[in-house]
Structure 1
Amino acid sequence: MTHPADDKRALFQRVVDDIIDQIRTGTLHGGDALPTARKMAESYGVASMTAQRALRELQHLGLTYAVVGKGTFVHPLARERAGTEGQPNPARGDTMADDPDLNRRVAQFLLKQNEIAGRIVDAMMAKDVHGMNVATQELADLKAANQDLADDIAKYEANAGTPAASEAAAPEPTKPRRARKPTK
């Protein structure tokens, strides 16, 4: 990536802005892995420390989360957050950017929840009642197993002075509808 001579932004900010643009345009999606700092440095033509700073800034903005030993991933809510220049919006419940561990846990929960919801939809489309029931139970189990996450979100929001959005983070699973009999 070449850098225009008249661009006064810091190099790390140029990298951050490019990744935010990729999130906004849908080139990067929630759950996508970002390249390592070394690979990012090579592709952007910057120093490794500059790429590391860009990765830290993206995490600070709540657009990414890091998993030790696995890498850095795009947050499931990154596209919505990037719409506000990447700044957390407390009215929307984006208040965890300054707590990377909680942010990572919420992201992992949302990714798993979306994966299960996708299986519920697939089972519904295939009119597979058993598959719907199994996936719905898995969703209920996920919520029960992550009740501590909902509690941690509520505590965080109480400390931050924002309304609790724990129900948005861990919604009640809905019972699958019975398949209709085809009409003749």
Structure 2
Amino acid sequence: MKERLSPLWQGDKKTKLIVFAGLLGMALILFSSFFEKEPAAKAPGGEWNSEQYQAMLEQRLLETVSSVEGVGKAKVMITLESGVEYVYAQAEKKNTDSTKDYDGTDTKRVQEKDQTEQSYILVDSGSGKREALLKTEKQPKVKGVVVVCEGAGNIVVEQRVLNVVTTSLDIPSNKVCVTKLK
């Protein structure tokens, strides 16, 4: 390897600069792969799972509630109705056969037959497999929220926390419990 590169180093300054820039570029590409990070909030397949979604919601709500004046130390717990729901694209074939028997001028008998065939639309994934095409991802609905904080003994702070939670998660106040931290 050294023998092949030595003639390049003995050339003029332009050649040395080009070789050096090329080697530097390759080294940077190599080292960049060590520093790449996957988003922590997504599952390995790039899709959410309900535990990750719940943890992300709790963290964001905790940060928001903690920034309310008078709250102090706080803890947040969120319960979800179900898991993440994935909706996949489908192709639908519909075939309708209709038969009419006539007896003179009046219709004697009408017979209809419907056939519907549904199938998922498959696409090639990067690994050579065929996977169903994801149309949409429905996040689970929030079933209830508990906020435990130091400032909940004050009715004004409690109402502020209740307003923050109901507004940020778009849920009714009867699904939220705000209580004092011991």
TM-score range normalised by the length of the shorter chain: under 0.3
Q: Which has the higher relative contact order, 1 or 2, with Cα contacts under 8 A spaced 6 or more apart?
A: 2
TM-score w.r.t. length of structure 2: 0.23
Greater percentage in strand: 2
After TM superposition, the score normalised by the length of structure 1 is: 0.23
Structure ID, larger Rg: 2
